[in-house]
Chains A and B, each alone.
Chain A
């Protein structure tokens, strides 16, 4: 079977799964169920496409679907601030960084041979999936709040509470400052590691004693 037919079968199956999942969610829990099904499909379908596609650029854009789906799940979980941060940082920042990496590295032609090891590793992945789903389905959780559509007064925004939590002395202010220090150090270090030495770029114009 050639690559193009495989590709068609994969995406056709993905579309069918979307329809089935949307219908199932709608039938099981109404519109909240359908929204959950859509976001869960975006998350997991994006991950699947990311693994399936051979081109790094396509995988990166599939990962965007994953991040957007997770942002949707956060909104369903009444964490609007987190959803916004997810889109800002992951889609706007980390994905752009990955695409920079794609631009700065050459295409990897040896990827096509990996089809041979894929079955065995697929089994490993399925085993992890199966254990996770089994635990998720059968575990008796100690915490069981109200389901999402059970609130009478509508969803609650958590943005203000999170902002206060960041700055209140008796809550998360130490972790907040530590995160700021970690970000500063990591980003300065990243710039330092990734810089090009002047001697690599213009060997003839580098004078003695000039480093960096």
Chain B
């Protein structure tokens, strides 16, 4: 399996993540879509690192992406809980306090 196959899987996963973000109204689905997109980027990092000759840079980038994704998920969930507490809804379109 060459580089192209991995890049194709990554592209398809990125597309799925975008679709998950724009078709769903629930915040949790948006978080899942973001995770898919970050994972697609990770596949690209590791694949290019494996097939290239640039030491360990790609794999290190992938590790830091995973770390930041973990931090992002924790903070995002805390924000979702707070938004639900304030608006009694998990739809991002209903958190419109500044519009009034």
Contacts and interface: CB of A to CB of B under 8 A. Distances in A.
Interface of A: 29, 32-33, 36, 40, 43-44, 47-48, 50-51, 56, 59-60, 63, 66-67, 70, 73-74, 76-79, 81-82, 85-86, 89-90, 93-94, 97-98, 100-102, 104-106, 108, 110-111, 114, 117-118, 121-122, 124-126, 128-129, 131-133, 135-137, 139, 141, 143-145, 147-148, 158, 161-162, 165, 172, 175, 179, 182-183, 186-187, 189-191, 193-194, 200
Interface string B3-29: 111111111111111111011111011
Contacts of A97: 73-74, 77
Interface of A is mostly: helix
B74 A190 contact: yes
A129 B25 contact: no
Q: Is the interface of B mostly helix, strand, loop or mixed?
A: helix
B71 A133 contact: no
Report the 7 A-B pairs with minimum CB-CB distance, sorted nearest first: A132-B11, A186-B71, A125-B19, A194-B78, A143-B52, A47-B16, A136-B8
Contacts, number: 231
B71 A136 contact: no
Contact of B43 (A59, A70, A191): A70
Contact of A77 (B39, B50, B66): B50
A194 B81 contact: yes
